[in-house]
Amino acid sequence: MDKNWTRNPSLQSIDPAKIEMLLKLTEQGKGKSQKDLLPFLMTIAGQSKKNGMSFSPQETDAIIEVLKTGKSPAEVQKIEQLRGLMTTFLSQKH
């Protein structure tokens, strides 16, 4: 995945530091299996929250919609499944 998605107008209101963090995470997550990706994302989410960097639901929705652009139906389904797992996991922590 190239950096072009970061220039999408839907993301212009998101802090550039958050976008940069996402780019770094994308690089770190490359090659991880779906099994390994969820624990990786949960760890990152916890670290980000601890460091005071979190994404609003609107920011998250915008990022996911941009990432789904141009993907096959199977890839979109995987993105939505991962999103659902993360939502479920995070809602259980409260």
Mean pLDDT of the chain: 81
Q: Pull the structure tokens for residue 52.
A: 């005071």
Is the confidence at residue 1, as pLDDT, over 70?
no
Is the model's pLDDT at 24 over the cut of 70? yes
Q: How many CB atoms lie within 10 A of CB 62?
A: 19
CA-nearest of 49, 41, 53, 57 to 16 is 53
pLDDT at 49 over 80: no
Structure-block tokens of residue 39:
């624990």
